[in-house]
Amino acid sequence: MQRRQFIRQSTKIGLAAAGASAGLVGCAGSIQEKPYANISKNNPYGYFPVKASMDRVINTVVGLRPFRTTGYRLEAEQLGDTFIVHNYGHGGGGISLSWGTSRQAADMALQQNPKSVAVLGAGVMGLTTALILARKGISVTVYSEKFLPNTTSNIAAALWLPTSYYDKSEVSDAFLAADKSISREAFKGFLPFTNRPDYGVYWNRYHLVLQNKPEQPVQLPGGNDLYPELKETTTDTLFGMPFDRSCQGLIIDPNFYLEEIKNDALIAGVKFVPKKFDSQTDILELAEKTVVNCTGLGAKTLFNDEKLMPLQGQLTHLLPQPEINYSYVVPTDTGFLYMFPRKGAIVLGGTTIRGAYSTVPDMELAKQMIAGHKNLAERLVS
């Protein structure tokens, strides 16, 4: 199927979903076998339940979030005659933070007044940094071992919510202050793409439900004003849980978004060259003497970064349900269960195992995860 035709069809499905959620199921005809969207005690928004079953699984994937206890590395260093700006280690928040840290990394590189810049890595950080620099008129070459769709960035879930990229006990107030303004900048960066089907960035209602009401009022990353319709309640909660914090949040579907910003980068003149860097000597041999390092977890060996480690996460994709326009995170005894809807799949997560390097899916875990989501779905219609 031609890409444009596919996008047009996705848009039509999106519109049908909007009709369904507005209670127009009868008009939409065949999109929903059974209209479950009844408002009830456990389902105050009248959401449709996720059809969580093994026979609806498209695939299960495992990704390694590049995590540093002290937060991402965003700084420059001189290495021989090469000026290197580091932009890596964004843990579980790299898609969200991309427009924030990449703008700062690009600004640091621009201070050298370079004619040409090498960007190492072609995940979300490399692509965003390259795009920003190319739009400033710089000749940019992206060198990378792997390209779309084979980067960690392709695996991300991804909700715009910059979290899970530092340990609070390890970061300074100065880092947190700078991070707040980076998060705000990053959020603004996504707004031009919202509700444009080609970029796959769209609003949905996001819920974090908890067993207890937090003692302190919420301070969400970047500031509460970045989360429209933010609401906390202990009555009329999703799944009938004791506490429900919800807001409008941006879903970013990496399968659409990354391809589109790569296209934007190509249009801006960025060149892409396959190359694996085995040592810093390989970097020093590049013709470009201004380099931005966006190698994610690859920076661990390349720059001997002992603070960098994987946060392994497994996701299962189910067949899409266009009628689902909400997402949730629910804590469990062993971690979290989360669900994010995309045009092409329902994404179920989410595990987080620090220091685990395997990218082989654990199908027992996938079964347990699906059982957990099935249980939640049943609560919506009970």
Ligand X SMILES: Cc1cc2nc3c(=O)[nH]c(=O)nc-3n(C[C@H](O)[C@H](O)[C@H](O)COP(=O)(O)OP(=O)(O)OC[C@H]3O[C@@H](n4cnc5c(N)ncnc54)[C@H](O)[C@@H]3O)c2cc1C
* Residues binding ligand X (CB under 6 A): 63, 65-66, 88, 90-96, 120-126, 144-146, 151-153, 155-159, 276-277, 294-298, 302, 313, 315
Radius of gyration of the chain from its Cα atoms, rounded to whole angstroms: 21
CB of 222 to ligand X, least distance (A): 12
49/63 with CB nearer ligand X: 63
Rounded to whole angstroms, how far apart are CA atoms 291 and 312? 28
DSSP 221-256: TT-GGGSTT-EEESSS-GGG-SEEEEEEEEEE-HHH
What are 98's two structure tokens? 């991309």
CB of 316 to ligand X, least distance (A): 11
227/277 with CB nearer ligand X: 277
Paired with 57 in beta bridges are 318
CB of 367 to ligand X, least distance (A): 18
42/325 with CB nearer ligand X: 325
CB of 258 to ligand X, least distance (A): 9
What are 34's two structure tokens? 């059974």
202/277 with CB nearer ligand X: 277
What single DSSP character describes residue 220? Answer: -
85/159 with CB nearer ligand X: 159
CB of 211 to ligand X, least distance (A): 22
158/330 with CB nearer ligand X: 158
Paired with 339 in beta bridges are 328, 348
Beta strands in 89-210 (DSSP E): 116-120, 139-144, 201-210
237/316 with CB nearer ligand X: 316
CB of 347 to ligand X, least distance (A): 9
Beta strands in the chain (DSSP E): 57-68, 73-79, 82-88, 116-120, 139-144, 201-210, 231-233, 243-252, 271-274, 290-293, 308-318, 326-331, 336-341, 346-349, 353-354
CB of 287 to ligand X, least distance (A): 16
Rounded to whole angstroms, how far apart are CA atoms 136 and 105? 13
21/101 with CB nearer ligand X: 101
Rounded to whole angstroms, how far apart are CA atoms 319 and 304? 41
* Chain position carrying tokens 């906390």: 232
CB of 226 to ligand X, least distance (A): 13
